């Protein structure tokens, strides 16, 4: 039984998990490449003040590499990055990683032949298997506003924070009010001179103070048998309850909305700020955010919320459609990522010159979010319709890498060089997934979950336990082995 060679693109949670899983089961020829200068993926890039995960760390971590010394419910970025580096060292993955490698093209000319993968500096790899683990939240985006290049001050995206730029006393424009802004605005508001937060729509919030765990609790987690596992189970069920609310907006969703309403009204003492930031869409349609600090920050005397749309950026500031020029010397983009683009602009071609970009022109789709007909031995981690609105993507990734490993083992048992999902299997699965969205909160507004066609391409429509079950074993009849 010949073990294949594998190239993994991306050294975040998914790529690291893939390497550990494959090598633990005898697939030793694994290489990881990443465009960054180190491992960590989003947790290497997002170093903005206040950066943390909004999923509790006892769940947002590998099941096979648990830690009992997390400092908080939701750990800050440095702690998560240190955790990943520790896992990489513990499992010997560091020797597999090549950094500073930006892949631009991958093609497979024959169904039973290797991939030819090319970096922007001309280097090439010829693996039997290509695993794309770039994720959904890897490429920052900012709007192409008129005059943006004329701005005379300092401008940067939250995912590429300029730590050399001193914000003390500055007049700052924050454009965007998503999950990143919700974390960095409260962190920098006390030090800036004045901040204008430009908002397109408000958010639904649930509380999260995220204080440090007391010493007794950390000692209990470390020493009481079964407490860590019980903690993971509790957090899992809490997260599944969020999905329940999103899936049933007219019933369970009303309870979630009531809880959020009571919390937000208690925090929003300023009636004008309350009017501006109150969401006008169904609870759960967009990402539910967790913060006990965002709404108070918006009511600081040096913070202003602006809801008029931006017309242009000028050398001295931001002009809104009502004609007002908001003079600032710093612009911070909190405008998120190209979540629906997945691995693009990387070009991927299968036998016969089949283009993945063309295949996905009407919306990204993949069987179990991982594999696409016409592209043998290509697997995508955190791919189409595998984002979780209430849960841990790390749990999904563990199931995905186990599934990929089993698929490769099945191919090896058959003496096959390529494994490809059958078109009718993938099509039926995609139709089933899309059919589960109508009637849910996800369909009741526009969000980053949708692509330009309006199709929801990022999110899994069900519960974590359902995805666990769907990926529990590989059904050989779903595949063609070349």
Provide the residue-wise pLDDT of the chain in tens; the chain has 482 residues. Answer: 578 999 999 999 999 999 999 999 999 999 999 999 999 999 999 999 999 998 999 999 999 999 999 999 999 999 999 999 999 999 999 999 999 999 999 999 999 999 999 999 999 999 999 999 998 877 888 999 999 999 999 999 999 999 999 999 999 999 999 999 999 999 999 999 999 999 999 999 999 988 899 999 999 999 999 999 999 999 999 999 999 999 999 999 999 999 999 999 999 999 999 999 999 999 999 999 999 999 999 999 999 999 999 999 999 999 999 999 999 999 999 998 877 778 888 999 999 999 999 999 999 999 999 999 999 999 999 999 999 988 899 999 999 999 999 999 999 999 999 999 999 999 999 999 999 999 999 999 988 899 888 899 999 999 999 999 999 999 999 999 99
Domain boundary among 306, 333, 360: 333
Structure tokens at 161: 């924070």
- The answer to whether residue 209 sits within a structural domain is no
333, 352, 371 - which closes a domain:
333
DSSP letters, 162-191, are -TTS--TT-EEEEE--SHHHHHHHHHHTTT
Residues 344, 425, single domain; the answer is yes
Q: Which one-letter DSSP state was computed for residue 105?
A: E
The Cα–Cα gap between 177 and 333 comes to: 9
Helices 227-247, 252-267: crossing angle, 10 deg rounding: 100
Helix (H, G, I), strand (E, B) or coil at 287: coil
Tokens coding 343? 């691995």
Return the pLDDT at 255: 97
Instruction: Write down the pLDDT at residue 461.
Output: 96
The answer to whether residues 65 and 95 belong to one domain is yes
- Alpha-carbon torsion (409, 413, 414, 417), positive or negative: positive
Examine the domain organization and report whether 113 and 22 are in the same domain: yes
Identify whether residues 329 and 199 lie together within a single domain: yes
Among the three residues 286, 305, 333, which one is the final residue of a domain in this structure?
333
In this structure, the answer to whether residues 28 and 134 fall within a common structural domain is yes
E strand or H helix at 319 = strand 317-320
Dist CA 115 CA 348 (whole Å): 10
Residue 240 lies in a domain: no
Q: Assess whether 56 and 21 both reside in one domain.
A: yes
β-sheet bridge partners, residue 98 = 33
The domain that contains 286 carries what CATH number?
Answer: 3.50.50.60
In a domain, 231, yes or no: no
Asked whether residue 277 falls in the same domain as residue 292, the answer is yes
Task: Compute the radius of gyration of the chain from its Cα atoms.
Answer: 23
Whole-structure pTM value:
0.95
Residue 446 belongs to some domain of the structure: yes
Q: What CA–CA distance (Å, rounded) separates 386 from 382?
A: 6
Assess whether 49 and 71 both reside in one domain: yes
* CB of 271 closer than 8 Å to CB of 299: no
Residues 108 and 181 in one domain: no
Q: What confidence score (pLDDT) does residue 139 get?
A: 83
End-to-end CA distance of the chain: 15
Count: domains in the chain? 2
- Domain check: are 104 and 129 in the same one? yes
Per-residue pLDDT, 386:
95
- Write out the residue range of the structural domain in which residue 301 sits: 148-204+250-333
Judge whether 443 lies within some domain: yes
Q: Are residues 388 and 362 in the same domain?
A: yes
Place of tokens 């690291």: 16
pLDDT for residue 284: 96
Mark whether 157 and 272 lie in a shared domain. yes
Interhelix angle 13-24/77-90, nearest 10 degrees: 20
């Amino acid at each position: 039984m010949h073990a294949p060679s594998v190239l993994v693109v991306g050294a975040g949670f998914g790529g690291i998990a893939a390497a550990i899983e494959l090598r633990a089961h005898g697939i030793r020829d694994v290489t990881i490449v990443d465009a960054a200068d180190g491992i960590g993926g989003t947790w290497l890039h997002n170093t903005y003040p206040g950066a943390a995960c909004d999923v509790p760390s006892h769940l947002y971590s590998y099941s096979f590499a648990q830690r009992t010394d997390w400092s908080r419910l939701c750990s800050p970025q440095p702690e998560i990055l240190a955790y990943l580096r520790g896992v990489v060292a513990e499992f010997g993955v560091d020797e597999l990683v090549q950094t500073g490698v930006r892949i631009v093209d991958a093609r497979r000319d024959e169904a039973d032949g290797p991939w030819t993968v090319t970096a922007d500096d001309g280097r090439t790899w010829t693996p039997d298997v290509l695993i794309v683990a770039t994720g959904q939240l890897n490429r920052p985006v900012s709007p192409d506003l008129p005059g943006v290049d004329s701005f005379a001050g300092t401008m940067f995206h939250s995912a590429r924070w300029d730590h050399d730029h001193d914000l003390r006393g500055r007049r700052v424009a924050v454009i965007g009010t998503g999950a990143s802004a919700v974390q960095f605005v409260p962190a920098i508001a006390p030090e800036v001179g004045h901040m204008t937060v430009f908002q397109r729509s408000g958010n639904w919030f649930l509380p999260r103070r995220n204080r440090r765990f007391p010493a007794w609790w950390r000692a209990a987690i470390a020493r009481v048998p079964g407490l860590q596992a019980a903690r993971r189970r509790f957090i899992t069920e809490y997260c599944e309850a969020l999905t329940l609310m999103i899936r049933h907006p007219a019933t369970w969703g009303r309870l979630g909305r009531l809880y959020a309403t009571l919390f937000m009204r208690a925090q929003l003492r300023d009636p004008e700020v309350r009017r501006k930031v109150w969401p006008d869409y169904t609870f759960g349609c967009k990402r539910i955010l967790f913060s006990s600090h965002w709404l108070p920050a918006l009511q600081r005397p040096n913070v202003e919320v602006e809801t008029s749309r931006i017309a242009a950026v000028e050398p001295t500031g931001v002009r809104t459609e009502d004609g007002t020029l908001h003079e600032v010397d710093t612009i911070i983009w909190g405008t998120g990522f190209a979540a629906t683009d997945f691995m693009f602009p990387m070009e991927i071609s299968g036998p016969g010159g089949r283009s993945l970009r063309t295949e996905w022109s009407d919306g990204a789709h993949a069987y179990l979010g991982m594999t696409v007909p016409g592209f043998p031995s290509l697997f995508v981690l955190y791919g189409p319709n595998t984002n979780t609105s209430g849960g841990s993507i790390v749990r999904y990734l563990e199931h995905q890498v186990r599934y990929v490993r089993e698929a490769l083992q099945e191919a090896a048992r058959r003496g096959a060089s390529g494994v490809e999902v059958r078109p009718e299997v993938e099509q039926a699965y995609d139709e089933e997934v899309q059919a589960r969205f109508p009637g849910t909160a996800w369909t009741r507004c526009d969000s980053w979950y949708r692509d330009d066609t309006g199709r929801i391409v990022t999110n899994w429509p069900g519960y974590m336990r359902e995805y666990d079950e769907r990926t529990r074993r590989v059904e050989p009849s779903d595949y063609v082995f070349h």
